A = this chain, B = another copy of it.
Amino acid sequence: MDSPGAAARPAARAGSPESEGVGVEDVSAEGRVTRAPAMTDVARLAGVSHQTVSRVLNGHPNVREQTRLRVRAAIEELGYRPNRAARTLATGRSQLLGVVAPNSTLFGPASLLAAFEWAAGTAGFSVSVRRVGVLDRPSIAAAVEHHRDQRVAGIVVIAPTASANEALAEIPSTVPVVTVDGDPLRGTALVTVDQEAGAMAATRHLLEAGHPTVWHVSGPSDWFDAAGRVRGWRRALEEAGAEVPPVTPADWSAAAGYRAGQMLARMPEVTAVFAANDHLALGILRAMHERGRSVPGDVSLIGFDDVPEAAYYIPPLTTVRADFDEVAGETLHLLLRRITDGETGPVRRILSPTLVERVSVAAPAR
Protein backbone atom coordinates (compact mmCIF):
# COMPACT_ATOMS: atom_id res chain seq x y z
CA MET A 1 0.00 0.00 0.00
CA ASP A 2 2.33 2.64 1.24
CA SER A 3 5.81 1.27 1.17
CA PRO A 4 8.43 3.97 1.40
CA GLY A 5 9.66 5.19 -1.92
CA ALA A 6 6.62 4.08 -3.88
CA ALA A 7 6.37 7.62 -5.15
CA ALA A 8 9.80 7.35 -6.70
CA ARG A 9 8.52 4.70 -9.04
CA PRO A 10 8.57 6.58 -12.36
CA ALA A 11 12.07 7.84 -11.58
CA ALA A 12 14.64 5.19 -12.57
CA ARG A 13 17.29 5.59 -15.20
CA ALA A 14 18.39 8.88 -13.70
CA GLY A 15 22.05 9.72 -13.33
CA SER A 16 24.81 9.30 -15.83
CA PRO A 17 24.32 6.10 -17.77
CA GLU A 18 27.90 4.91 -17.44
CA SER A 19 28.45 5.65 -13.76
CA GLU A 20 30.35 2.58 -12.71
CA GLY A 21 29.58 0.42 -9.74
CA VAL A 22 26.69 2.45 -8.49
CA GLY A 23 23.80 0.12 -8.14
CA VAL A 24 24.10 -1.64 -4.87
CA GLU A 25 20.59 -2.54 -4.15
CA ASP A 26 18.16 -0.25 -2.55
CA VAL A 27 19.76 3.04 -1.90
CA SER A 28 21.60 5.06 -4.50
CA ALA A 29 24.60 7.27 -3.84
CA GLU A 30 22.34 10.22 -3.06
CA GLY A 31 20.59 8.13 -0.42
CA ARG A 32 17.42 8.00 -2.48
CA VAL A 33 15.52 4.77 -2.54
CA THR A 34 15.50 3.20 -5.97
CA ARG A 35 14.48 -0.10 -7.45
CA ALA A 36 16.42 -3.34 -7.52
CA PRO A 37 18.48 -3.85 -10.68
CA ALA A 38 16.60 -5.37 -13.60
CA MET A 39 17.77 -7.11 -16.68
CA THR A 40 18.05 -3.86 -18.62
CA ASP A 41 20.44 -2.46 -16.02
CA VAL A 42 22.69 -5.45 -16.47
CA ALA A 43 22.41 -5.09 -20.23
CA ARG A 44 23.38 -1.46 -20.15
CA LEU A 45 26.39 -2.10 -17.93
CA ALA A 46 27.55 -5.00 -20.12
CA GLY A 47 26.89 -3.06 -23.31
CA VAL A 48 24.49 -5.63 -24.76
CA SER A 49 20.75 -5.97 -25.15
CA HIS A 50 18.50 -7.31 -22.43
CA GLN A 51 17.78 -10.29 -24.62
CA THR A 52 21.43 -11.30 -24.54
CA VAL A 53 21.36 -11.14 -20.78
CA SER A 54 18.35 -13.39 -20.85
CA ARG A 55 20.19 -15.80 -23.12
CA VAL A 56 23.15 -15.95 -20.77
CA LEU A 57 20.87 -16.51 -17.82
CA ASN A 58 19.06 -19.34 -19.49
CA GLY A 59 22.14 -20.99 -20.94
CA HIS A 60 21.23 -20.50 -24.57
CA PRO A 61 23.92 -21.66 -26.97
CA ASN A 62 24.42 -18.83 -29.44
CA VAL A 63 26.31 -16.42 -27.24
CA ARG A 64 29.98 -15.71 -27.67
CA GLU A 65 32.11 -16.73 -24.72
CA GLN A 66 33.47 -13.23 -24.34
CA THR A 67 29.99 -11.72 -24.26
CA ARG A 68 28.89 -14.29 -21.75
CA LEU A 69 31.70 -13.34 -19.42
CA ARG A 70 30.97 -9.67 -19.76
CA VAL A 71 27.34 -10.25 -18.86
CA ARG A 72 28.23 -12.43 -15.91
CA ALA A 73 30.55 -9.75 -14.62
CA ALA A 74 27.81 -7.15 -14.87
CA ILE A 75 25.39 -9.42 -13.04
CA GLU A 76 27.92 -9.88 -10.30
CA GLU A 77 28.70 -6.20 -10.04
CA LEU A 78 25.10 -5.12 -9.74
CA GLY A 79 24.08 -7.99 -7.54
CA TYR A 80 21.35 -8.68 -10.03
CA ARG A 81 18.80 -11.39 -9.24
CA PRO A 82 16.18 -12.32 -11.78
CA ASN A 83 12.58 -11.56 -10.91
CA ARG A 84 10.78 -14.87 -10.79
CA ALA A 85 7.36 -13.34 -10.97
CA ALA A 86 8.19 -11.72 -14.29
CA ARG A 87 9.57 -14.94 -15.64
CA THR A 88 6.54 -16.86 -14.49
CA LEU A 89 4.26 -14.33 -16.10
CA ALA A 90 6.12 -14.43 -19.37
CA THR A 91 6.45 -18.19 -19.58
CA GLY A 92 3.35 -19.36 -17.76
CA ARG A 93 5.59 -21.72 -15.86
CA SER A 94 7.16 -21.38 -12.43
CA GLN A 95 9.90 -23.05 -10.43
CA LEU A 96 7.40 -23.70 -7.68
CA LEU A 97 6.11 -27.07 -6.62
CA GLY A 98 2.89 -27.28 -4.64
CA VAL A 99 2.30 -29.79 -1.90
CA VAL A 100 -1.04 -30.64 -0.36
CA ALA A 101 -0.51 -32.28 3.00
CA PRO A 102 -2.70 -33.23 5.95
CA ASN A 103 -2.50 -30.88 8.90
CA SER A 104 -0.84 -33.32 11.22
CA THR A 105 2.55 -34.11 12.64
CA LEU A 106 2.21 -37.84 12.20
CA PHE A 107 5.57 -39.41 11.62
CA GLY A 108 4.96 -40.66 8.09
CA PRO A 109 3.57 -37.54 6.44
CA ALA A 110 5.89 -35.23 8.38
CA SER A 111 8.99 -37.19 7.44
CA LEU A 112 7.89 -37.42 3.87
CA LEU A 113 7.21 -33.72 3.67
CA ALA A 114 10.57 -32.79 5.13
CA ALA A 115 12.36 -35.16 2.79
CA PHE A 116 10.51 -33.82 -0.22
CA GLU A 117 11.17 -30.21 0.66
CA TRP A 118 14.80 -31.01 1.03
CA ALA A 119 15.03 -32.89 -2.24
CA ALA A 120 13.13 -30.23 -4.15
CA GLY A 121 15.26 -27.47 -2.68
CA THR A 122 18.39 -29.29 -3.75
CA ALA A 123 16.99 -29.50 -7.27
CA GLY A 124 16.40 -25.75 -7.34
CA PHE A 125 12.67 -25.77 -6.77
CA SER A 126 10.68 -23.99 -4.15
CA VAL A 127 7.96 -25.85 -2.36
CA SER A 128 4.69 -24.24 -1.41
CA VAL A 129 2.82 -26.18 1.23
CA ARG A 130 -0.89 -26.08 1.76
CA ARG A 131 -2.22 -27.91 4.79
CA VAL A 132 -5.70 -29.33 4.81
CA GLY A 133 -7.60 -30.04 8.00
CA VAL A 134 -9.74 -32.89 6.78
CA LEU A 135 -8.85 -34.87 3.70
CA ASP A 136 -12.24 -34.65 2.04
CA ARG A 137 -13.09 -33.68 -1.47
CA PRO A 138 -13.73 -29.95 -1.13
CA SER A 139 -10.69 -29.33 1.04
CA ILE A 140 -8.29 -31.08 -1.28
CA ALA A 141 -9.88 -29.53 -4.34
CA ALA A 142 -9.52 -26.08 -2.79
CA ALA A 143 -5.89 -26.68 -1.94
CA VAL A 144 -5.16 -27.86 -5.47
CA GLU A 145 -6.94 -24.87 -6.94
CA HIS A 146 -4.95 -22.61 -4.74
CA HIS A 147 -1.75 -24.06 -6.10
CA ARG A 148 -2.95 -23.75 -9.65
CA ASP A 149 -3.62 -20.08 -9.04
CA GLN A 150 0.02 -19.69 -8.22
CA ARG A 151 0.93 -21.34 -11.49
CA VAL A 152 2.92 -24.04 -9.76
CA ALA A 153 4.82 -26.27 -12.12
CA GLY A 154 3.55 -29.42 -10.47
CA ILE A 155 1.64 -30.66 -7.47
CA VAL A 156 2.26 -33.40 -4.95
CA VAL A 157 -0.72 -34.61 -3.01
CA ILE A 158 -0.02 -36.48 0.18
CA ALA A 159 -3.37 -38.14 0.40
CA PRO A 160 -3.31 -41.16 2.59
CA THR A 161 -7.08 -41.49 2.96
CA ALA A 162 -9.78 -42.92 0.80
CA SER A 163 -11.94 -39.84 1.06
CA ALA A 164 -9.29 -37.89 -0.81
CA ASN A 165 -9.70 -40.06 -3.81
CA GLU A 166 -12.59 -38.38 -5.50
CA ALA A 167 -11.01 -34.97 -5.23
CA LEU A 168 -8.01 -36.23 -7.13
CA ALA A 169 -10.20 -37.47 -9.95
CA GLU A 170 -11.39 -33.92 -10.56
CA ILE A 171 -8.02 -32.35 -11.11
CA PRO A 172 -7.68 -31.32 -14.73
CA SER A 173 -4.73 -32.89 -16.42
CA THR A 174 -3.19 -29.57 -17.39
CA VAL A 175 -0.99 -29.56 -14.34
CA PRO A 176 1.23 -32.52 -13.43
CA VAL A 177 0.19 -34.22 -10.23
CA VAL A 178 1.86 -37.00 -8.32
CA THR A 179 0.09 -38.68 -5.45
CA VAL A 180 2.00 -40.05 -2.50
CA ASP A 181 0.56 -42.61 -0.13
CA GLY A 182 -2.62 -42.62 -2.15
CA ASP A 183 -4.80 -45.35 -3.56
CA PRO A 184 -2.51 -47.98 -5.10
CA LEU A 185 -5.29 -48.89 -7.48
CA ARG A 186 -5.81 -45.47 -9.00
CA GLY A 187 -4.57 -44.93 -12.49
CA THR A 188 -2.42 -41.85 -11.95
CA ALA A 189 1.13 -41.14 -11.00
CA LEU A 190 1.66 -42.62 -7.60
CA VAL A 191 4.51 -43.27 -5.23
CA THR A 192 3.94 -45.27 -2.13
CA VAL A 193 5.36 -47.81 0.25
CA ASP A 194 4.37 -51.42 -0.10
CA GLN A 195 2.36 -51.58 3.07
CA GLU A 196 1.14 -55.04 2.32
CA ALA A 197 4.64 -56.46 1.92
CA GLY A 198 5.75 -54.80 5.14
CA ALA A 199 2.81 -56.17 7.06
CA MET A 200 3.38 -59.63 5.62
CA ALA A 201 7.01 -59.57 6.66
CA ALA A 202 6.06 -58.60 10.21
CA THR A 203 3.32 -61.19 10.47
CA ARG A 204 5.46 -63.96 9.03
CA HIS A 205 8.24 -63.07 11.41
CA LEU A 206 5.88 -63.62 14.33
CA LEU A 207 4.53 -66.86 12.90
CA GLU A 208 8.02 -68.14 12.30
CA ALA A 209 8.85 -67.43 15.93
CA GLY A 210 6.29 -70.11 16.70
CA HIS A 211 3.11 -68.18 17.44
CA PRO A 212 -0.07 -69.95 16.36
CA THR A 213 -1.54 -66.70 15.08
CA VAL A 214 -1.03 -62.92 15.19
CA TRP A 215 -3.47 -60.26 16.34
CA HIS A 216 -3.61 -56.88 14.64
CA VAL A 217 -4.27 -53.41 15.95
CA SER A 218 -5.05 -51.37 12.88
CA GLY A 219 -4.87 -47.71 11.92
CA PRO A 220 -7.93 -45.71 10.88
CA SER A 221 -9.75 -47.67 8.22
CA ASP A 222 -9.96 -44.86 5.68
CA TRP A 223 -6.18 -44.62 5.43
CA PHE A 224 -4.71 -46.59 2.58
CA ASP A 225 -1.67 -47.31 4.68
CA ALA A 226 -3.81 -48.87 7.36
CA ALA A 227 -5.86 -50.86 4.88
CA GLY A 228 -2.75 -52.17 3.16
CA ARG A 229 -1.28 -53.32 6.46
CA VAL A 230 -4.49 -55.14 7.32
CA ARG A 231 -4.41 -56.86 3.93
CA GLY A 232 -0.82 -57.94 4.31
CA TRP A 233 -1.39 -59.23 7.82
CA ARG A 234 -4.44 -61.20 6.74
CA ARG A 235 -2.73 -62.62 3.71
CA ALA A 236 0.28 -63.79 5.66
CA LEU A 237 -1.99 -65.57 8.12
CA GLU A 238 -4.04 -67.17 5.38
CA GLU A 239 -1.00 -68.31 3.48
CA ALA A 240 0.31 -69.93 6.63
CA GLY A 241 -3.04 -71.53 7.30
CA ALA A 242 -3.32 -69.70 10.61
CA GLU A 243 -6.55 -68.58 12.16
CA VAL A 244 -7.44 -64.95 11.38
CA PRO A 245 -8.53 -63.21 14.58
CA PRO A 246 -10.72 -60.10 14.46
CA VAL A 247 -8.95 -56.80 13.80
CA THR A 248 -8.75 -54.40 16.72
CA PRO A 249 -9.52 -51.00 15.16
CA ALA A 250 -7.73 -47.89 16.36
CA ASP A 251 -6.27 -44.66 15.03
CA TRP A 252 -2.56 -43.88 14.88
CA SER A 253 -2.16 -42.69 18.48
CA ALA A 254 -0.52 -44.19 21.52
CA ALA A 255 -3.77 -43.52 23.35
CA ALA A 256 -5.68 -45.80 21.00
CA GLY A 257 -2.93 -48.39 21.26
CA TYR A 258 -3.25 -48.30 25.01
CA ARG A 259 -7.00 -48.89 24.85
CA ALA A 260 -6.56 -51.74 22.39
CA GLY A 261 -3.78 -53.15 24.53
CA GLN A 262 -6.00 -53.19 27.59
CA MET A 263 -8.36 -55.49 25.70
CA LEU A 264 -5.69 -57.73 24.30
CA ALA A 265 -3.87 -57.98 27.62
CA ARG A 266 -6.78 -59.73 29.26
CA MET A 267 -6.96 -62.41 26.60
CA PRO A 268 -4.52 -65.20 27.42
CA GLU A 269 -4.68 -66.57 23.91
CA VAL A 270 -3.06 -63.41 22.55
CA THR A 271 0.66 -64.14 22.26
CA ALA A 272 1.63 -62.05 19.25
CA VAL A 273 0.48 -58.63 18.12
CA PHE A 274 1.24 -56.63 15.00
CA ALA A 275 0.51 -52.94 15.56
CA ALA A 276 -0.08 -50.69 12.57
CA ASN A 277 2.50 -48.20 13.79
CA ASP A 278 5.07 -47.68 16.52
CA HIS A 279 2.99 -45.29 18.58
CA LEU A 280 0.18 -47.79 18.80
CA ALA A 281 2.79 -50.33 19.83
CA LEU A 282 3.96 -48.01 22.58
CA GLY A 283 0.45 -47.81 23.98
CA ILE A 284 0.12 -51.57 23.78
CA LEU A 285 3.45 -51.95 25.54
CA ARG A 286 2.23 -49.91 28.43
CA ALA A 287 -1.08 -51.76 28.67
CA MET A 288 0.73 -55.09 28.70
CA HIS A 289 3.09 -53.80 31.34
CA GLU A 290 0.25 -52.69 33.55
CA ARG A 291 -1.42 -56.08 33.31
CA GLY A 292 1.83 -57.81 34.13
CA ARG A 293 2.21 -59.41 30.76
CA SER A 294 5.80 -59.23 29.73
CA VAL A 295 6.96 -58.36 26.24
CA PRO A 296 8.37 -60.46 24.67
CA GLY A 297 8.08 -63.08 27.41
CA ASP A 298 4.30 -63.45 27.29
CA VAL A 299 3.44 -61.42 24.21
CA SER A 300 5.50 -60.61 21.14
CA LEU A 301 4.95 -57.28 19.44
CA ILE A 302 5.90 -55.63 16.15
CA GLY A 303 5.26 -52.05 15.10
CA PHE A 304 5.57 -50.09 11.87
CA ASP A 305 7.50 -46.92 10.93
CA ASP A 306 10.67 -47.29 12.97
CA VAL A 307 10.36 -43.93 14.64
CA PRO A 308 13.76 -42.94 16.06
CA GLU A 309 12.57 -43.67 19.59
CA ALA A 310 11.44 -47.23 18.87
CA ALA A 311 14.86 -48.58 19.76
CA TYR A 312 14.41 -47.15 23.26
CA TYR A 313 11.00 -48.45 24.08
CA ILE A 314 10.85 -51.06 26.84
CA PRO A 315 11.69 -53.44 25.30
CA PRO A 316 13.25 -52.10 22.09
CA LEU A 317 10.66 -52.57 19.39
CA THR A 318 10.94 -54.79 16.35
CA THR A 319 9.34 -52.81 13.56
CA VAL A 320 9.11 -52.15 9.83
CA ARG A 321 10.96 -49.26 8.28
CA ALA A 322 10.17 -47.32 5.11
CA ASP A 323 12.77 -45.10 3.52
CA PHE A 324 11.11 -41.71 3.23
CA ASP A 325 14.08 -40.14 1.54
CA GLU A 326 13.67 -42.67 -1.20
CA VAL A 327 9.94 -42.07 -1.45
CA ALA A 328 10.52 -38.33 -1.62
CA GLY A 329 13.25 -38.71 -4.20
CA GLU A 330 11.10 -40.91 -6.41
CA THR A 331 8.21 -38.50 -6.07
CA LEU A 332 10.31 -35.57 -7.14
CA HIS A 333 11.84 -37.51 -9.98
CA LEU A 334 8.45 -38.57 -11.28
CA LEU A 335 7.01 -35.10 -10.96
CA LEU A 336 9.90 -33.44 -12.75
CA ARG A 337 9.69 -35.95 -15.57
CA ARG A 338 6.03 -35.16 -16.00
CA ILE A 339 6.74 -31.45 -15.96
CA THR A 340 9.52 -31.49 -18.51
CA ASP A 341 8.46 -34.33 -20.77
CA GLY A 342 4.75 -33.79 -20.49
CA GLU A 343 4.24 -37.43 -19.65
CA THR A 344 0.73 -38.11 -18.47
CA GLY A 345 0.23 -41.88 -18.40
CA PRO A 346 -0.26 -43.78 -15.17
CA VAL A 347 2.94 -44.63 -13.33
CA ARG A 348 3.29 -46.45 -10.08
CA ARG A 349 6.38 -46.65 -7.90
CA ILE A 350 5.94 -48.92 -4.93
CA LEU A 351 8.88 -49.11 -2.60
CA SER A 352 9.58 -51.99 -0.26
CA PRO A 353 9.99 -51.47 3.47
CA THR A 354 12.31 -53.60 5.57
CA LEU A 355 11.90 -55.44 8.83
CA VAL A 356 14.05 -54.10 11.66
CA GLU A 357 14.59 -56.78 14.28
CA ARG A 358 15.02 -55.75 17.87
CA VAL A 359 13.92 -57.53 21.02
CA SER A 360 10.13 -57.37 21.24
CA VAL A 361 9.69 -60.74 19.54
CA ALA A 362 10.33 -64.17 21.08
CA ALA A 363 8.96 -67.67 20.91
CA PRO A 364 5.66 -68.08 22.75
CA ALA A 365 5.75 -69.34 26.30
CA ARG A 366 4.71 -72.97 26.48
A residues sitting closer than 8 Å to B (CB atoms) are 1-4, 25-26, 81-86, 88-89, 93-94, 96, 103-105, 107, 110-111, 114, 117-118, 121, 126-131, 133, 145-146, 148-151, 172, 174, 253-255, 257-258, 279, 282-283, 285-286, 289, 308-309, 311-314, 316, 340, 342
Measured CB to CB, the closest approach of chain B to A173, in angstroms, equals 9
Measured CB to CB, the closest approach of chain B to A224, in angstroms, equals 21
The reply to whether B342 and A84 form a contact with Cβ atoms under 8 Å apart is no
CB nearest neighbor in B for A310: B254
- Cα-based distance from A308 to B86 in the complex (angstroms): 45
B81, B253, B313: the one contacting A148 at CB < 8 Å is B81
The reply to whether A309 and B279 form a contact with Cβ atoms under 8 Å apart is yes
Known interface pairs A2-B342, A83-B149, A283-B312; 20 further A-B residue pairs with C-beta atoms within 8 A, sorted by A's residue number: A1-B340, A25-B172, A83-B89, A84-B149, A96-B128, A96-B150, A103-B117, A105-B114, A110-B110, A118-B131, A126-B128, A126-B146, A127-B128, A128-B129, A254-B308, A282-B312, A282-B313, A286-B313, A286-B314, A314-B314
- Cα-based distance from A150 to B3 in the complex (angstroms): 18
- Cα-based distance from A314 to B291 in the complex (angstroms): 13
**B residues less than 8 Å from A105 (CB atoms):** 107, 110-111, 114
Query: Which 5 A-B pairs rank lowest in CB-CB distance, beginning with the nearest?
Result: A85-B88, A254-B312, A85-B89, A254-B309, A118-B131
- Cα-based distance from A114 to B3 in the complex (angstroms): 30
- Cα-based distance from A145 to B81 in the complex (angstroms): 9
- Cα-based distance from A118 to B134 in the complex (angstroms): 12
The reply to whether A103 and B84 form a contact with Cβ atoms under 8 Å apart is no
A93, A118, A253 interface centre (most CB from chain B within 10 Å): A118
Q: A85-B94, A129-B129 are in contact. Are A110 and B114 (CB under 8 A)?
A: yes
Q: A103-B114, A131-B114 are in contact. Are A312 and B255 (CB under 8 A)?
A: yes
B4, B255, B311, B312: the one contacting A311 at CB < 8 Å is B255
**B residues less than 8 Å from A342 (CB atoms):** 2-4
A145, A150, A151 interface centre (most CB from chain B within 10 Å): A150
